[in-house]
Amino acid sequence: MEKTNPIVGTKIDKSRIISLEKGKIPPQAVELEEAVLGAMMIDRKGIDDVIDVLSSDAFYDSKHQEIYAAIYELFQNSEPIDLLTVSNLLKKNGKLDFVGGDFALIRLTQKVASSAHIEFHARIILQKYIQRKLISISSEIIENAYDDGTDVFELLDDAEAKLFEVTQGNLKKSSEDAGSLVKQALKKIQEIGNSEGMSGLETGFTKLDALTSGWQPSDLVIIAARPGMGKTAFVISMAKNMAIDFGHGVAVFSLEMSSVQLITRMISSETGLTSEKLRKGNLEPHEWEQLNVKVKKLSDAPIFIDDTPSLSVFDLRAKARRLVSQHGVKIIVIDYLQLMTAGGKAGGNREQEISMISRNLKALAKELAVPVIALSQLSRAVETRGGSKRPLLSDLRESGAIEQDADIVSFIFRPEYYGMTEWDDDEHTPCEGQGEFIVAKHRNGGLDNIRLKFTGHLAKFSDLEESFSSEFQSSMNADVSPDHRIEPKDAFGDDDDDDMPF
């Protein structure tokens, strides 16, 4: 419908007027904010119900932000919270006049009679806050997407990181004062004391757990070795221990082996049946029964395997975020670092690319607050060196940045691989069927060389002191005859090739 404008004699398109946006108000629930703040000042129970749900940023009204911040400070200091104490603290901080004086605080307390529905109200306030954050993030993504100079992979990674923050409820201020950090540290120390000194995730290797107190959240752990030493065997044993024995969710990114090959190794380790028998399906009736019984635990274990080849660091971060948010994964394992690509940021030489990948892995560990375990190759310098051939930090392949970024750098060493029959110690201890987990760098703890038992035909590491049950021992004897025993380093057909790590 069109009509003539009597002033200028032109026709006005009404549909165009209707289609024009008249402006939008950000999502908000100011009345509920007032109800929540009033309830917190008249009922202590109300504070306990919402203090872990809301932050001061969740409030739309800046005056309400200041009032909540005062209530939160009183709560942190274990001081009484009521109309008078909140008013005094606001006055002390110079914010009382800004919020409207005592009259404004009195008005808030008069709006509610109790804290009966305070948690429900707080959830609505949080939802409105999340909506505002999503609008802000979306606007920023749109603006950056129109910029031709923006790296699209960097834009994708940044967008997903911000959305992951919203999903995880980690919308916190960028910095925290020393007082609140001290309280957090004391609380963590108390929790560690209650858990008998284990502050991280148990690996199932007794001496390693004693040294590290378990793998710590936000740590980047590098496990390096020459091909054939047992890097993959170690992380498979560790992942199985963590998932089956302790119930920790484990994500394994296998860039070399297929997911079926990897799970077959785990089945071999768990059941005591050799990988050769499992590949051929040549099992005796009692072995089929053994397989069906023991594989049940592995079937129920929270292990997630991704075998995407040539995985880029951006894809890894995206997949890891989803696994942490959707499946509660507690640790991420990458096998192995040199097979990853830099994705959209590729450029420069291989050393610079590896440096960028290691920095991103450390950033991922901090962002998700989970330990990231990355396997790495060692240079051939180990092979040409005389003596015990025990690896050194200088042997890390392709980039010194790996050593710099990592919180823990460790090596796996098996003298038996080089034809040695004894450890290079004063007692000349036999080294048959043994390996050494060498902690060469530990940013927050001590160093040590930890000896472990290595069962080559099962590709399994375990505690050296661990005694085998009669059932497990009998299965070993039945599986491998003396005339056809497989040497540890050749158990899975691996040779000394840089592109084929164990």
Q: Which of the residues are catalytic?
A: 256
Longest dimension (CA), the chain: 109
Q: Rg of the Cα trace of the chain? A: 30
Coil, strand or helix at 335: strand
How far apart are alpha carbons 24 and 161 in whole angstroms? Answer: 27
Q: What does each C-alpha distance from 39 to 47, 78, 84, 107, 117 come to in angstroms?
A: 8, 18, 14, 12, 9
Residue 315, both tokens = 């894809």
CB 131 within 8 A of CB 123: no
Q: What does each C-alpha distance from 132 to 27, 125, 444, 502 come to in angstroms?
A: 6, 11, 39, 50
Residue 110, both tokens = 């008069």
> Three-state SS across 73-95?
HHHHCCCCCCHHHHHHHHHHCCC
How far apart are alpha carbons 434 and 421 in whole angstroms? Answer: 10
Q: What does each C-alpha distance from 355 to 337, 349, 408, 477 come to in angstroms?
A: 11, 10, 16, 46
- Which amino acid, 48? D
Cis geometry, peptide bond prior to residue 417 (ω within 30 degrees of 0): no
CB 269 within 8 A of CB 459: yes
